Structure 1
Amino acid sequence: MDVYEEIRKGERGAWVSICAYIVFSALKLISGYVFASSALLADGFNNLTDIVASIAVLIGLRISQKPPDSDHAYGHFRAETIAALIASFIMAMVGIQVLFEAGRSLFIGKEVEPNLWSAGVAAVCAMGMFAVYIYNRNLARKINNSALMAAAKDNFSDALVSIGAAVGIVGAQFGLPWLDVVAAFAVG
């Protein structure tokens, strides 16, 4: 199998991530709003940025498949790196916004006890994202693709973030409503 065929296989992993992030971000944002969970809302916004990051990885993989030409004697393999930098910048900006909103909630004293259902949503999304991580990790190892491995590591960290959100929400149920906001801070 040549390197270009391996890159095309890597696109599947990027598409799996994009689809999972679309479903999970919609579920978290709607549930976070309905069940009044700052942590789940922050996690949903985090997943929105992951959609953009996964699209950037997909675009980078597509561009890197172009063969060498007069301007790029060694091919277009650096496109993956540029796409990753753009995605990182977007994620940082949204992370700062989430931190700002969580800080405002913490210092204004807006402590709302989130509904326990939101913890269930976070836990289910964590399990789903862990499955996406395993798929992408195995595919990245099989085709030896560092961009897809980086995406897999992001999938894993997102699964951990969702677990943290669930813990914060459950803590809020036990009389610690500020724990939901602290979990939102951790997500940011």
Structure 2
Amino acid sequence: MYRILTEEKVKKNIEKFLEIDKDFSIIEGTYFVIENKKKFIGYGVLEKDNYNFILKKIFINENYRFKSYGTKLLNFMITSTIKKGNLIAYKDKNLNRFLEKFGFKLMDNFYILENLERSSEREKEGKKTVYYSIFWNIILAISKIFGGWYGRSRALLSDGFNSLSDVATSIGILLGIHFSNIPEDEEHPFGHEKIESIIGIVLGIIMILTSFELIQGSVEIIIAKDYNHTPNITTIFWAGFSSIVKFFMYRQKLRVGLKTNNTALIADAKDSRNDVFSSLGVILGILLSIFVAPIFDTLMSILVALLIFKEGVAVILETTDTILDKQDPELIKEIEKYISENSEVTNIHDIMMRQSGDNIFLSLHIRVPKNMTVYEAHTISEEIEESIITDFPEIKSVIIHVDYLIN
């Protein structure tokens, strides 16, 4: 739990400061406090100096050090107060290592954290990964379609068209990342991130339609008994190359998707993982066609199509949960526990969430004593809101309705 204290409140709570820091003395600046289970465990002091902010002090009780509380407190100080500019901290042998790990750069006799405007790292990483995906999917599509046609492998040809559909889905994700990073406006107060989920559903539909086309073509070949061609042994190379590339694409997409909580990118990562198995299946089908019977190549193309269909349905179901604002019971319990353990509020109810892309918008009700002033109730709700946003990075906004305790 975090609090911003006025000078009056600092003086009122001076004994709590002395409990954690025996050398505590009041200095000029804005005070920030971090609590654990309603107990002071650290504090920081900021002072504004024109365009810059000065970190005059940051202190964590020795019993709570090396547990990331200092990092959490400094993050709260930055996000709650510093919208733009630089943060400066003067050299201190007890803080130098901490400042360097946080990202401060050493100048002559001070450390500086420059340009604290929030950059869209999510957009940059997402676009970089999608460009990488488009490039490799084009390479794979061309190599597998050509290799399947030249090597007479229906399964490899199907896998090539699968990669071609991946190019289209990656372009769709690129559009989703672009539109979802447009700032909120009067008509879209919750932002534009939900477009990622819409793109995810479109991707799922494309995957299903692709699977139907592949199945239809293969079934027609089986009915016509036109499966007497044995694939060329070189087609195994193209399928093996595809499975290796797709594996690394899956790892990269999943890493960035989880890091940025991009549902469309995570869905695309699962499609790449599926492609690894489909390419390995193609190798098996080619081998069986060469050494057992030619029909196995066509049968394997149907299996590849069914895998594409299954993944398409899974993607649609997953992204639909986001659009329909499916509640996360574990997160709701965690929020309730967090508030009850770190504030004076004992009655928390009606916690609801809505999700838009990587952002969660939370609303909840709390009860406070009926004789509490409006100012005091507002201060408590504001502290809870800022603390939740700091300790739960996926939560972008918290709306708190204050009720009163009857007894």
Residues 187, 2 of structure 1: alpha-carbon distance in 2 compared, 3 angstrom cutoff: farther
Q: Distance in 1 between matches of 2:237 and 2:294?
A: 17
Report the secondary structure of 2:234's partner residue: helix
Q: Which residue of 2 aligns with 1:8?
A: 124
Q: Which residue of 2 aligns with 1:168?
A: 285
Q: Distance in 1 between matches of 2:140 and 2:181?
A: 30
Q: Shift in Å at residue 149 of structure 1? A: 1.7
Contact 1:25-1:48 at 8 Å conserved across structures: yes
Q: Which residue of 1 aligns with 2:239?
A: 122
Q: Which residue of 2 aligns with 1:98?
A: 214
User: Which residues in structure 2 correspond to 1:80-159 (within 5 Å)?
Assistant: 80-111=196-227, 112-159=229-276
Amino acid at match of 2:173: V
Higher helix share: 1
Instruction: Provide the identity percentage.
Output: 29
Instruction: Answer yes or no: is 1:70 the counterpart of 2:186.
Output: yes
Contact 2:199-2:264 at 8 Å conserved across structures: no
Instruction: Return the TM-score normalized by structure 2.
Output: 0.45
Q: Which runs of 4+ in 1 moved over 3 A?
A: 1-4
- Provide the aligned C-alpha RMSD in A: 1.6
Q: Which moved more, 1:31-40 or 1:137-146?
A: 137-146
Contact 2:181-2:192 at 8 Å conserved across structures: yes
Q: Shift in Å at residue 3 of structure 1? A: 8.2
Q: Distance in 2 between matches of 1:149 and 1:88?
A: 12
Residues 2, 137 of structure 1: alpha-carbon distance in 2 compared, 3 angstrom cutoff: farther
Q: 5+ unaligned residues in a row in structure 2: which ranges?
A: 1-116, 306-407
Q: Shift in Å at residue 147 of structure 1? A: 2.3
Q: Distance in 1 between matches of 2:232 and 2:256?
A: 37
**1:67-87 residue CA offsets vs partner (Å, 9 max, x unmatched):** 001211111001111112222
Contact 1:7-1:145 at 8 Å conserved across structures: no
Amino acid at match of 2:253: N
Structure with more contact order per residue of length (Cα contacts < 8 Å, sep ≥ 6): 1
Q: Which has the larger radius of gyration?
A: 2
Q: Shift in Å at residue 93 of structure 1? A: 1.6
Residues 144, 87 of structure 1: alpha-carbon distance in 2 compared, 3 angstrom cutoff: closer
